[in-house]
């Protein structure tokens, strides 16, 4: 796991721009704290920051391959999980290797397969490969966009990077917020429309896309999508295939030359990951698996039960660790840390995010990084298997908008009245919502319920899951820490996509089929536990802290937030401790204190990035 930057121009020499390249690369030092490297040629400059996970000596980047095929150079961020099979195929076709790194396998796979290489990869990846003979650049991103890749074009030069902040080190790239940017930030945010960012003329390579940059410009192409087809396996076969795919995905992702662990909340998803990982360690004669959980100071005293968060994690974590004999560590975060790291979390994302939901993960990864470098998490199971409340709640299903972001009128009211007259959030969100729904393939044989759930599943996979994957990548890599997501294996997603909803939601329960499959290897209390989201603090001092921070901001009438947002509305939010904004800003938990923390992040973002607002 790493970060990379670069720029290419087919028509002009860029070799003199090393200083620019180094400045860009330095912005990614947190993603890759172990090594850096550069490749500079007439028409291409590439920089790399490395987090060493596999083959410390043989995996240095940018990696150059010179052969009879020509000269090829790769900068790469990610992990390829089918390296063994790819290597075998390449060796059978005359390729030899100088290392055991997946970087070398990926580069030589591209030489062998060409542009079709992405259809042979199982992993999480973003990479750039320069073909010096053709003077052509190849960019690609994994199936679900676990790893990021941003770009912009200026004066026939393609500038690309793992994070947006690196692009702004290139001369002439401006930070501008236009009408669409405001809609993305306050109508869609902290999600974003695939391919876009909040900044004008700054784009991302969409998930499951590759691009070719040559003399005729940049050409992007989608190489994979979820395809609807009839599910023909009977129930028993379905369960067996799921068990195989789960085991195969998890065990493939346990390869590492550095310390590896799992995150364990005691929920169904993280327990499945931990069970397979712990069994693998035992079978391989490895030391007991290390597991980590997060909690907050005095949460045991302050926990408040809700529909979204029905119980705390501790009892279930203890049940799993005793059952599997793992080496468990409990990381306890204090309230002041959550608030003081809101700015770092915003910088990690390059935009306001999920407030303390972000800063808590950033702190969690920071603490785990003291002993580990890689962790497997249970992220993405809810999206793939139908675990969220909006899959079952009629008000959400009939909302005619993204069900995790239904407070559109409140979002509109939050805008500065002068901006609100020009920016119509609902119209923009409606357009993006319907645009996305138009991509869903519904089969004639689908039941009414399966058809309905295909739509909500597609939205959840392509919007909500992407937001959580962005969060995982940025918060972890800000600490030079790698998170892997076995449930995000595209083969698993493909298979589950076509399982009828009546089976997927077996017994009318969220993730009913996954629960049924898990009953043979997990304690019944874990299998039957009601879904509980990522834990947040219930300490009342957090509300006091973020309220104080936001009050201080609003006492300054020159604070940049006043140019963008409705000052009177924010003052009313402060007066009512957040209840004036009655529905969650995003997802299930962003109310009250989280909303105030988000507004603090907005002001921090405006101060740090200073975007020009042109509407």
Taking residues 66-71, report their average pLDDT: 88
Digit-coded pLDDT (tens) for 19-31: 999 999 999 999 9
**Residue with the larger pLDDT of the pair 301 and 45:** 45
pLDDT at 307: 44
pLDDT at 534: 65
260-263 β-sheet, strand order: 327-333, 290-296, 260-263, 374-376, 482-484
Taking residues 378-382, report their average pLDDT: 96
pLDDT at 310: 47
Taking residues 416-431, report their average pLDDT: 97
Fold of 2-222: 3.60.20
pLDDT at 300: 62
pLDDT at 481 over 50: yes
pLDDT at 301 over 60: no
Digit-coded pLDDT (tens) for 178-211: 999 999 999 999 999 999 999 999 999 999 999 9
Digit-coded pLDDT (tens) for 132-175: 999 999 999 999 999 999 999 999 999 999 999 999 999 999 99
- Asked which of 4-8, 504-508, 537-541 is least confident by mean pLDDT, the reply is 537-541
pLDDT tier at 312, thresholds 50, 70, 90: low
pLDDT at 587 over 90: no
Taking residues 37-44, report their average pLDDT: 95
Digit-coded pLDDT (tens) for 314-361: 889 999 998 898 999 999 998 889 999 999 999 999 999 999 999 999
Record the pTM.
0.95
SS3 letters across 484-505: ECHHHCHHHHHHHHCCCHHHHC
pLDDT at 308: 45
Taking residues 215-221, report their average pLDDT: 95
**587 to 85, 253, 384, 523: CA distances (angstroms):** 39, 28, 16, 29
Residue written as token pair 């939010």: 573
Contact 335, 541 (CB under 8 A): yes
pLDDT at 503: 97
180 CA to centre of own chain: 22
Residue written as token pair 């993280």: 270
- Asked which of 81-95, 365-379, 415-429, 584-598 is least confident by mean pLDDT, the reply is 584-598
pLDDT at 584: 81
Digit-coded pLDDT (tens) for 269-295: 999 999 999 999 999 999 999 999 998
Taking residues 562-591, report their average pLDDT: 84
SS3 letters across 374-394: EEECCCCHHHHHCCCHHHCCH
Active site residues per annotation? 2
Host H or E run for residue 130: strand 123-131
pLDDT at 12: 85
Fold of 235-528: Rossmann fold (3.40.50)
For 28-100, strand residue ranges (E) read 35-40, 44-50, 63-67, 70-80
Is the CA virtual torsion 179, 183, 189, 192 positive or negative? negative
pLDDT at 348: 98
pLDDT tier at 589, thresholds 50, 70, 90: low
Taking residues 413-438, report their average pLDDT: 96
pLDDT at 298: 72
Taking residues 453-475, report their average pLDDT: 97
Domains of the chain, residue spans:
2-222, 235-528, 540-613
What's the rounded Cα separation, in Å, for the pair 57 and 539? 46
Q: SS3 of 79, please?
A: strand
pLDDT at 242 over 60: yes
The mean predicted confidence, pLDDT, of the chain is: 93
* Distance in angstroms between the alpha carbons of the first and the last residue of the chain: 38
pLDDT at 58: 83
């Amino acid at each position: 796991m790493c970060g990379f930057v670069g720029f290419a121009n087919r028509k002009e020499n860029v070799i003199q721009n090393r200083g620019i390249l180094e400045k860009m690369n330095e912005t990614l030092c947190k993603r890759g704290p172990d090594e850096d490297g550069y490749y500079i040629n007439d028409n291409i400059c590439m920089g790399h920051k490395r987090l060493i996970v596999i083959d410390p000596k043989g995996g240095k980047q940018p990696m150059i391959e010179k052969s009879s095929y020509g000269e090829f150079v790769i900068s790469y961020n990610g992990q390829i999980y089918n390296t063994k099979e790819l290597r075998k195929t390449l060796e059978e076709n005359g390729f030899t290797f100088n290392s055991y790194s997946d970087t070398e396998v990926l580069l030589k796979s591209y030489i062998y397969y060409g542009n079709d290489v992405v259809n042979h990869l199982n992993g999480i990846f973003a990479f750039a490969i320069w073909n010096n003979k053709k003077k052509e650049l190849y960019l690609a991103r994994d199936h679900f966009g676990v790893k990021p890749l941003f770009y912009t074009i200026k004066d026939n030069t393609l500038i690309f990077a793992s994070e947006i902040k690196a692009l702004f080190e290139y001369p002439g790239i401006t930070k501008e917020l236009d009408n669409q940017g405001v809609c993305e930030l306050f109508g869609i945010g902290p999600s974003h429309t695939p391919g876009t960012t909040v900044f004008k003329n700054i784009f991302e390579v969409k998930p499951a896309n590759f691009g070719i940059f040559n003399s005729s410009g940049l050409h992007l192409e989608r190489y994979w999508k979820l395809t609807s087809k009839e599910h023909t396996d009977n129930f028993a076969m379905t369960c067996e295939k799921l068990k195989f795919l789960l085991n195969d995905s998890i065990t493939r992702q346990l390869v590492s030359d550095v310390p590896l662990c799992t995150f364990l909340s005691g929920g169904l998803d993280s327990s499945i990951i931990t069970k397979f990982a712990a069994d693998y360690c035992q079978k391989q004669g490895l030391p007991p698996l290390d597991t980590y959980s997060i909690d907050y100071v005095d949460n045991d005293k302050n926990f408040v039960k809700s529909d979204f968060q029905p119980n705390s994690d501790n009892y279930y974590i203890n049940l799993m660790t005793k059952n599997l004999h793992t080496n468990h560590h409990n990381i306890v975060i204090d309230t002041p840390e959550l608030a003081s790291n809101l700015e770092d979390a915003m910088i990690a994302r390059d935009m306001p995010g999920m407030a303390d939901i972000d800063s808590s993960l950033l702190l969690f990864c920071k603490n785990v990084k003291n002993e580990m470098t890689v962790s497997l998490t249970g992220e993405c199971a809810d999206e793939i298997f139908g675990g969220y409340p909006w899959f079952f709640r009629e008000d959400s299903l009939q909302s005619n908008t993204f069900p995790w972001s239904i407070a559109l009128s409140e979002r509109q009211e939050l805008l500065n009245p002068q901006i609100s007259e020009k920016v119509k959030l609902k119209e923009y969100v409606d357009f993006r919502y319907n645009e996305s729904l138009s991509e869903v393939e519904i089969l004639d044989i689908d039941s009414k319920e399966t058809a309905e759930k295909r739509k909500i599943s597609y939205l959840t996979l392509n919007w909500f899951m992407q937001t959580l994957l962005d969060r995982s990548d940025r918060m972890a890599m800000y600490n030079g820490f790698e998170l892997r997501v076995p449930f995000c294996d595209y083969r698993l997603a493909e298979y589950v996509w076509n399982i009828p909803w009546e089976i997927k939601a077996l017994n009318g329960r969220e993730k009913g089929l996954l629960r049924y499959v898990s009953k043979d290897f997990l304690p019944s209390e874990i299998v039957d536990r009601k879904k509980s989201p990522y834990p947040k603090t219930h300490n009342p001092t957090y509300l006091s802290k973020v309220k104080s921070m936001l009050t201080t901001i609003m006492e300054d009438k020159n604070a940049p937030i006043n140019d963008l947002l409705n000052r009177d509305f924010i003052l009313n939010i402060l007066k009512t401790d957040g209840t004036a904004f009655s529905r969650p800003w995003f997802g299930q938990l962003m109310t009250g204190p989280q909303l105030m923390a988000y507004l603090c992040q907005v002001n921090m973002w405006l101060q740090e990035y200073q975007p020009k607002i042109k509407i």
